[in-house]
Structure formats: C-alpha cells, structure tokens
A and B are shown apart, each in its own frame.
Chain A
Amino acid sequence: MANEMRFIEVELKGLSYEELDAKMRGLEFPQLSSLLNSRTTKVGDTAASLLIERGICNELVDAMLNGCFTSKKGKIRALNVLNSFGCSCPRSHEGYKLFVLDRDADVVVSALFGLVFLQDLGNLTYIRQAMAKAEAGSTKIEFYNLAIQALKEGNPFIYSPHFHDRRDVWGIDKNRFGHRVGSFNRREG
C-alpha cells in the first residue's frame, strides 16, 4: 500500500486542481484517505474534497481510529472532512475524541471545533480529560477552556465566532442563531 501510494503521489505531482480531480475521482476510499496525508496541498486537499463529496463517514472514523492519519495535515484534513458532515455522522465524536488528545495544537483546535458544534454536553468529559493531560500554560489550554465555555453556554460561536453553517449540518438553534445558519440570500432590499 505504501509503495502504491508513493507511486500515485509521483504521478499526481504538478497537476492542476482540475486535472487532479479528474485523475483522483477513480480512486477508492483507502487510497483517498491515505492521500489526506500528502505533503502536497493540492493532492491532499483534492482527496479531502472528494471524500466530502462522497459523504463517506464511518469508514473515515475507522481510519482515524486505526491510525491511518500520521501527519498533522492528514489529521486536520480528516477532521475537516468529518466537520463537513456535521451531526449527520453518528460516530464522528469518536474521531474528535481521539484527536482532541493530539500533541499538535492545530489538530486539537480542529477536533474541538467538532466537539463544540455537536453541542452535546457529554463531550465536556472528553475535553476536560484532554485538558488534564495538556501541559500547563500551553496554547491548547486556552482552546480547551473556550470549548468548555461554548458548550456550557450552548453557544458554539463562542468557540468559532466567524463560522456560518451554510448547509445547516450542525442543527444549530435557529431561534437564537438563525442569522448564522443557511443560505445568505435572505436579506431585505
């Protein structure tokens, strides 16, 4: 598998986004998920884009739990694919729970985003456990605290103040945050 992936990566080098999309569209899930680890932004991002399009969720969580994502970029891409599914992925919290313990702050920030926007108070436990293991004074602590506050107050935008749930995938309370959900085409003239 590793040799095959190296061969595919070499073949994909230097292609444009359009060409990559056309070439990678024929790849299966194991190959695409493996390419999330790519050091080439275009290749890794195209793999993520195709996984989002296919809506493959449970296999992605399994890949996370099986340690398929070894690089920081690979983990962040996998988490962003998961984020794009929102609440529709029943096992997504398993992936978030794993990566919220990661040693890299950027990976933790991305995993916390998912745990916060799931808006399940049960996730507080995972966050507190992760925070207990984090080095005192590290930047991660700041984000753990922010996530806890957002969950407690039932306002995920405390954690990510500028996010807009365009496709309404997170089940956000529209009575409170209707202007942060759905199409942008709802303005008075």
Chain B
Amino acid sequence: MLSGTGLTTAATALTNILYSGQWTMKSGQQYLRARFYDPASGTFNRLDPFAGNLADPQSLHKYLYAHGNPVAFGDPSGQFIDFANHVLHLGFAVAGIYGSAANFQLAAQEFGESISLLNSGNLEGFILFASGIGHTLLGVLGAAGAGSALANFNAFPGALRLVGGGAVPLAAGAVTALEYGAAASAAAAILWMAMADPNRGNRPQHGTQGHDRTSRDTVDDWANDPATVETRFNQDLVDANGNRVPGVRPDAQRIRKLPDGRRVVDVVEVQSPSQTAKFMDDKIQKIKDLLGPDAGDVYWISPY
C-alpha cells in the first residue's frame, strides 16, 4: 500500500522520501519509525509494537496499515493512525477531569450547606443534599470517563467507531459511553454553574414572620448606608470580594467599604425562638473564623 508490489507496476520513486514522510533504506525496506516495511513481501518486519485498543478491534491487527484505509488515514509512526485521535481523546480526558473536579467541588459545597441548613431546621437542606448526591455521581462519571479516555489515548476516535456500526463490540460501546459521559459531566457542571443562584439579593422567607421581618429590616438599614457595597438576604456567606464561603447562610450580610478603601463583611444572624444565646454566640464565632480578616461587624440579634 505504501510503495509496495501491487498488481500493477509501481513507478520508480525519484526520491527516498515517500508517502507520509517515510524513508526508503538501502536494504529496500521502508522505515516507519517503529518498524520497517518490506515492499517486496508487502509486510512489516515485525509485529506492531502498539498493543492496540480493545475498544477499536481494527487497531489490534498486528500487520494492518492505517486500518486498511490509507486514503482516509495515515500512520506516520508505524503504530497507530492519526494525530487527530490523540486530540479527541485528550479532549475527553480534559473534559472528564474538569467535570469530575467541578462536580465534586459543587457536591462538597452542597453537602456543607445542607448540613448547616438542616441543623437550623431548614428543610431546604434536603434539596441541597440531594443535589450534592447528583453532583457526586456526575463527578464519578467524569472521573471514569477521563480514565477511559486516558487509557484509550492512542485509540481510534469514538465517533468513528460508532459510525462503524454493528461490528463495534459491547465493550467498545461501554468505553465510548464513558468517554461521552466525561464530556456530559463537564457540560453539566458548566451549565449548572451558569444557571446557579448568583448569590445576590434576597432569597425567600425561611423562618417566622418576626425572624424574616427582623432580617429584612437589617438589610434595608444597610441599603441606606453609603458605605454599603452590596447586601445579601439569606444567601451563602461571601468574603470581602464577593466569593462564596461555603458552610453558612447568614440571615443578613453586606460588603462594607471602609474609609481607607478596604472592604469588610458585616453579618447579622437573627435568633430563632428555639435557639439559645450560647448557640448563637457559637454560630457567630464560626462565621468570624470563616471570614478571618474580612470580618467586619458580625453579630446576632433578637427577633421582634
């Protein structure tokens, strides 16, 4: 197929440099980097050192050149067919790693917040907990897909395998599915983050009328203060730059600009009638610890 002996007489090449950048040796064999090709016998001088890919049965053939289709594909190294395959599988691997990491991070945030909410008797925590389980599963799928893509890094593109139709074995289908799962995991994480609550403004009421009223009054108070940069009602805690600090959802918080231009975060928690003063003090201390140097005025107040 390269410049081997065929049914018709091959023209004599004017140069040693052949198709796909191969090189003819003095022995007459053609150098394909990993092994030599003998045009006289029409075979390679040894087995293909690339073990092949279980998901791509044609790649297992030890003597076949470019899956028997040199028009469509090349094999510049003598091992496997196309650089594009690398790119595709690398893409699946990157998508899987990203999707896995993003989903695990989202799950960790949701588990942390759900525990905090459930501890304070807020049933919204169940929804967050369920979402955390969903993101964990997506994270596992992303990791498995990334693993599969890395294992098949040198393999035939999954898309072409599918086009190949019925000859594709079940195992290959599973591997392909995992790789597409990696891409799905990444896409789901990106979509979720794009659609997620921007963590600004107000969330719905989560306590008694008095609790809600007291919290809103605090936010309204701050809204009239020129030092206030932005306010949040019943949203995830943020640091002075507006980045989420998972694990707590204060009743009211604001980012405040100090006269020297530095920003701090003020937080107010409204006591629920069944919570003790000790519980509230511990809760505020936790928020202060989470905010560190970003902590401004962090207090709890009684409802009215």
Contacts and interface: CB of A to CB of B under 8 A. Distances in A.
Q: Which has the most chain A C-beta neighbours within 10 Å: B275, B276, B277?
A: B277
Interface stretch (A5-13, A59-67, A76-84, A126-134): A76-84
A21 B209 contact: yes
Interface string B268-291: 100111111110110011001000
Contacts of A189: 225-227, 257, 259
A21 B205 CA distance: 12
Given A45-B272, A52-B303, A184-B268, A163 B222 contact: no
Nearest to B278: A109
Interface in A39-59: 41-42, 44-46, 48-49, 52-53
A102 interface: no
Contacts of A84: 302-304
A81 B273 contact: yes
Contacts of A161: 281, 285
B243 interface: no
A3 interface: no
Nearest to B288: A162
Given A45-B207, A45-B272, A106 B285 contact: no
B280 A162 contact: yes
Contacts of B257: 189
- Interface of B (DSSP majority class): mixed
Interface string B201-220: 00001111111101000100
Given A45-B207, A49-B211, A106-B276, A187 B227 contact: yes
Q: Which has the most chain A C-beta neighbours within 10 Å: B256, B259, B297?
A: B297
Contacts of A163: 277, 280-281, 299-301
Interface in A160-189: 160-167, 169, 179-180, 183-189
A110 interface: yes
Contacts of A21: 208-209
B221 interface: yes
Contacts of A73: 274
Contact of A113 (B209, B277, B301): B277
Contacts of A109: 276-278
Contact of A17 (B209, B214, B225): B209
A77 to B, nearest CB: 5
Contact of B299 (A41, A45, A164): A164
A49 B209 contact: yes
B266 to A, nearest CB: 7
Nearest to A112: B277
Given A73-B274, A76-B274, A48 B302 contact: no
A161 to B, nearest CB: 6
A164 B225 contact: no
B208 A49 contact: yes
Contacts of B274: 41, 44-45, 48, 73, 76-77, 80
A4 interface: no
Contacts of A180: 299
Interface in B215-242: 218, 221-222, 224-227
A18 interface: yes
Interface string A106-127: 1001100100000000000000
Contact of B273 (A18, A49, A164, A183): A49
Interface of B: 121, 205-212, 214, 218, 221-222, 224-227, 256-257, 259, 266, 268, 271-278, 280-281, 284-285, 288, 297-304
9 contacts: A18-B209, A41-B274, A48-B208, A53-B209, A81-B273, A143-B278, A164-B299, A166-B218, A186-B225
